[in-house]
Every structure is written in C-alpha cells, then in structure tokens.
Structure 1
C-alpha cells in the first residue's frame, strides 16, 4: 500500500473576543489545562536541567505528553514547543508547534485578539495525523476563547 502524499504542517487561527492581555496570560505550557478541556492536568516536570523547561500534559483520554519549551517571547508574544515523549508512542517522529497572539488594533475586531497555532511535523506523519492536529487545534482555540471570555 502506498502512502498518500500530504502536507506535514497545519495552521489554525481564530479571532478571540477578549482583550489581548487576557488571552496572552493563558498561553503558558504549564497552564494549558486551565483552558484546554482535552487536558486533565498540565504540570512542570521536576528534576530536569535548570535551563530546560519541560511540561507534562495528561489528557483525559489517558495520553501523556512531555513537551519542551523551545522558545518563548514576551516581546513578540509566542511560545514554541516540541513533543519529546508520548505515552502511548506517537506514529511519527516529531512535531514542533507555535502558538502566537496578536492584539487587534483597528477595524471591526479592535480590542480583540488574533491567535495562530501551527504545527510542523516530521515527514513520516500521515494525513490522519495532520487532520487530527487541525481539529485538536480548532478545539483548543475555542476553549481558549471561552477561558479568555470568562475573565471579562
């Protein structure tokens, strides 16, 4: 059986009807369980190198991911992370994701927040992985919008 060629990246976005600061303050790896309803808990992994930030995400379906913060910018308002371990194992080698927030400064959505959530997968990720990632990001962005709106 031959593999179906597919893109190995995904990008989802949303305009969140909440002020930028309310949204940006939720976008911390260790706090994703505060808005992402798929997560049971998110917590720092203890005992790793002091210059390495690793967070364990425990999902309600029993999946456990350890994610490493690769970059974090409070100036450009983004966080980039990679999955370094998964139980059960992933069907692909790697993924690097970035969540980025932008304040909307003019137009109909002035005072709201535009958020993008990308994922760049290794070439062994199949179409099912990419499609699943798309819907998980959409669901998480909707959860982020609900959590930010509740801060009003």
Structure 2
C-alpha cells in the first residue's frame, strides 16, 4: 500500500539582515523576552517550579486555539551568539513528536550592510512532521524576524 504522506524536508531555515547594530539585536534574543517583540505572542514567562538548572519558558500565542507551549533552553552561547531551544509541552498537542530550534546572530562587518546584523532561525523537526508543519514554521520564523527588525528600529 502506498503512503499518502507527501515527502518533505524536516528542517527549516529562515534568515534576515536586520538594519540595526548587533548589540541591539542580540540583546532582544532571550526566550523570556520574545513577547516583547514577537507579535504572535501575548505572553512569555519563566515557568515557576522548574529546576534552577533548567530554563523553561512558557509562550502564549495569540492564535484562535490559544496555543500555549513550553520551551526549554538547551544551549546558550554569549561567545558564538546563539540560543537553542526545544518544545517540551504544547496545548493543544503538536501534530509531531519534537522540534529543536536555533537562533543565531552575526555582526556584519563589511560591505553595504556593515554595522547591521544577520540573523538565522532554524528548526529541525522529527520525521513525523508533515509539509504543513514545515510551511507553518517557515512563515512563523519570517514573521518573527520581521517583528524583531521592527522592534529594534523603534529603539
């Protein structure tokens, strides 16, 4: 019997040049502060009662389902300027098993964008994520990067 699933990549990578100094952009890329600039979120807050060694943040989305997810910061580097996080819970439940995302920021040091910031936002999904999930992730990241650029331009 043939599978009805459409084969798709299980990763997504979106990027943007943000016309702001690196320090202004990097300062905003902290999981508990995402609702300060990402228009899709109504709230982002540290989960109380989590282990002191574990950074778990709850994001409440403005979507019609009232989606609430908890993300766990897996890695953070102030030297290489990236954060990696995974989704550990979701209400309503996700249609796939897992996703690991990384946001990286790079200062642009030469050329016509010198003094600006290059940002990438990747997502690596479990193999049960379908094409709709990947497309949704792509557009959410694009919108979020545009929101980040808008937030920095207001400072």
Q: TM-score, normalised by structure 2?
A: 0.96
Matches of 1:22 and 1:68, distance apart in 2: 24
- 1:38-77 correspondence to structure 2 within 5 Å: 38-61=40-63, 62-77=66-81
Q: Could you list the per-position Cα deviations for residues 51-90 of structure 1 after superposition, in whole angstroms to 9, with x for gaps in the alignment?
A: 0000000011210000000000000000000000000000
Task: Find 1:97's aligned residue among 88, 94, 101.
Answer: 101
What is aligned with 1:35? 37
Task: Find 1:107's aligned residue among 88, 96, 111.
Answer: 111
What is aligned with 1:146? 150
What secondary structure does 1:128 align onto? helix
Q: Which runs of 4+ in 1 moved over 2 A?
A: none
How far does residue 110 in structure 1 lie from its aligned partner after superposition? 0.1
Please, what is the CA RMSD of the aligned residues?
A: 0.6
What is aligned with 2:89? 85
Q: TM-score, normalised by structure 1?
A: 0.98
Q: Could you list the per-position Cα deviations for residues 14-65 of structure 1 after superposition, in whole angstroms to 9, with x for gaps in the alignment?
A: 0000000000000000000011000001000011111000000001121000
For structure 2, the residue ranges without an aligned partner over 5 or more in a row are none
What is aligned with 1:126? 130
Give the length in aligned residue pairs.
Answer: 151
